[in-house]
Every structure is written in C-alpha cells, then in structure tokens.
C-alpha cells in the first residue's frame, strides 16, 4: 500500500523501562519511523495498584503522549492494556494498540502441548485478560497464570542477572512446571520480563518456549500503518525521544542494556502531580 507520508511519531507508553523491549522491536521493524517513548517510572510499578489507579495514571500519561502529536499509540504495558485499553481508545484521537492480544497470539502459535503458562503482574493476572485473549486465539488451550510481583521492582532497579535474580525467578517458576499436561510455552505477560529473558530461559529449561509480545506488537503496528496508509515518507532513520517521569540516571542505566550505544539521551517530563 502506498504511504501517505505521515511523518508524525509513534507514541509508546509503559509504566517504566519494560516497554523498551517493545520499542526495540518497533525500531528494528520500522527504522524510518520516529518514536516517542514515555515511561511513568515515578509511579511504577503499576502491577500492585488498584485498577482505577492504573486507569487514571495511564490516561494522564497517554494524554501527555497525545499532546506530542503522535499518529499511533502503543500501550507497551500489559497492566495498562489489561485495565485501560478500551478507555484509552475512547479518549484517543489516533489508533491504539495494546500488547495483550499480540502476546496471546504468539503463545497460541507456539504451544504444542496445549498448555500455556503466563507470568505477569498481579494486576494483569487478576484482570483475566490473558486467559481471555489466549482463549480467543484458540479455545482448546489451557492457561495457567502466575503473578510475580517481585520481578518488576528488580528490573526497575537494574538487577537483570546474578544469584538474586536467578533465585527469585526460580522461586516463581518452580510453582508452574509440575502441571499435567506440562507447560511447553511460557508467555512473558509483562513487558519488563524480557529483560530477564536469559535467566527465565535458563530456569525454564530447553523444553519450554519463552515468548513475549514485542515481536507481534511491532508486526501489528506495521500492518496498521499500512492499512491506514500512514507510514512515514522519510527514507533516513527516524528520530527517537525517550522520556521518563522518574530519575533520568536510573532509567538510562537500564535502558542502555536494551539499546547499548544507540540509546538517545533520556529526557524528563511531568505528566501529572506525583
């Protein structure tokens, strides 16, 4: 489809650093597109918060991104997607993609045993969004969910490997892998968790496929821009802004593990009274 030369950026939102895993995939797939990433680190984690609070914080953050004149909004946060996607779609003047359905589609495509394990924040698990989305992708699949509340604070603190990370991940996953039929696909239902992927894969073992929503969300974004005829007309690499409501130095340290030397300098913004 012919692009209509819409050079406005794609807005990407997460409660903190986790959505960078989705941003990285978007950048790989759509290098000519410009992006603005907002992490609401000042109020992360969202996972343990009541649904109403997550909705308020998400709407405030999304409001800031919409004010930057984005052409597409990606809610790169499962907790925000699970609690607030329909609301955000109501207020947004541009199309909005969440990460739950793309993750569920990946997991449904991956499992052979028909049993998918989902690890996520307490809020996402309580919402039942993944059980519903995997069931929508294939109603025959069994889904076992587990909330892992210690993982997001660990990632936000930059603790991505080492004995503490291994022990914490083992403590959670030990509860999942005794079921019958055995779980053969583990869905990372939180965008922070791919930053722990090496540890998670090691603990889960070689017979478990570890999948996340980053690749399929980027694919969905690409398809949507094509359907809308809204790709940028520019040839060169797009411009990228990364913004946090929290501490720039802490954010930059974790973000550098995702983007390495390609990390743009991180800005700070206030989206609401915190």
| Residues near ligand DGL, by CB under 6 A | 14-16, 18, 44-47, 77-79, 121, 124, 152, 190-192
Short-list 194, 217, 260, CA closest to 75: 217
CB of 240 to ligand DGL, least distance (A): 19
CB of 231 to ligand DGL, least distance (A): 27
Give CA–CA dist 15/65, Å, rounded: 13
Q: Out of 190, 203, 214, 221, which one is annotated catalytic? A: 190
**Toward ligand DGL, which CB reaches closer, 111 or 124?**
124
Give the number of other CB atoms < 10 A from CB of residue 167.
Answer: 11
Give CA–CA dist 11/247, Å, rounded: 20
Q: Are 37 and 243 spatial neighbours (Cβ–Cβ below 8 Å)? A: yes
148 is catalytic: no
CB of 228 to ligand DGL, least distance (A): 25
**Toward ligand DGL, which CB reaches closer, 126 or 269?**
126
**Toward ligand DGL, which CB reaches closer, 106 or 191?**
191
Q: Out of 10, 26, 77, 84, which one is annotated catalytic? A: 77
Q: Give the residue closest to ligand DGL by C-beta.
A: 47
Give CA–CA dist 171/210, Å, rounded: 17
**Toward ligand DGL, which CB reaches closer, 44 or 211?**
44
**Toward ligand DGL, which CB reaches closer, 148 or 183?**
148
Give CA–CA dist 149/80, Å, rounded: 15
Q: Mapping DSSP to helix (H, G, I), strand (E, B) and coil, where does residue 192 land?
A: coil
Give CA–CA dist 181/183, Å, rounded: 6
Helix then strand then coil, % of the chain, to nearest 5: 45, 15, 40
CB of 1 to ligand DGL, least distance (A): 31
190 is catalytic: yes
Q: Mapping DSSP to helix (H, G, I), strand (E, B) and coil, where does residue 244 land?
A: strand
CB of 45 to ligand DGL, least distance (A): 3
Q: Are 186 and 217 spatial neighbours (Cβ–Cβ below 8 Å)? A: no
Catalytic positions are: 77, 190
């Amino acid at each position: 489809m012919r692009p209509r030369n819409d050079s406005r950026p794609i807005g990407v939102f997460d409660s903190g650093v986790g959505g960078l895993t989705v941003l990285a995939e978007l950048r790989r797939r759509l290098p000519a597109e410009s992006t603005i990433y907002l992490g609401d680190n000042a109020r992360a984690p969202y996972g343990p918060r009541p649904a109403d609070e997550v909705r308020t914080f998400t709407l405030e953050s999304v409001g800031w991104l919409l004010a930057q004149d984005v052409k597409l909004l990606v809610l790169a946060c499962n907790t925000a997607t699970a609690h607030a996607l329909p609301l955000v779609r109501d207020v947004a003047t541009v199309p909005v993609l969440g990460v739950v359905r793309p993750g569920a589609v990946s997991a449904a495509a991956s499992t052979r045993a028909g049993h998918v394990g989902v690890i996520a924040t307490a809020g996402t698990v309580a919402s039942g969004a993944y059980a519903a989305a995997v069931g929508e992708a294939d109603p025959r699949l069994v889904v076992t969910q587990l909330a892992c509340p210690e993982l997001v604070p660990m990632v936000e603190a930059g603790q991505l490997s080492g004995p503490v990370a291994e022990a914490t991940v083992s403590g959670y996953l030990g509860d999942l892998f005794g079921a019958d039929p055995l779980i053969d696909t583990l869905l990372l239902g939180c965008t922070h968790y791919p930053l722990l992927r090496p540890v998670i894969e090691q603990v889960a073992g070689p017979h478990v496929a570890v999948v996340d929503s980053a690749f399929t969300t980027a694919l969905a974004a690409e398809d949507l821009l094509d359907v809308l005829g809204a790709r940028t007309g520019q040839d060169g690499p797009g411009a990228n802004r990364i913004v946090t409501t929290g501490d720039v130095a802490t954010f930059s340290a974790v973000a550098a593990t995702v983007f390495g030397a390609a990390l743009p300098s991180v800005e700070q913004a206030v989206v609401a009274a915190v």
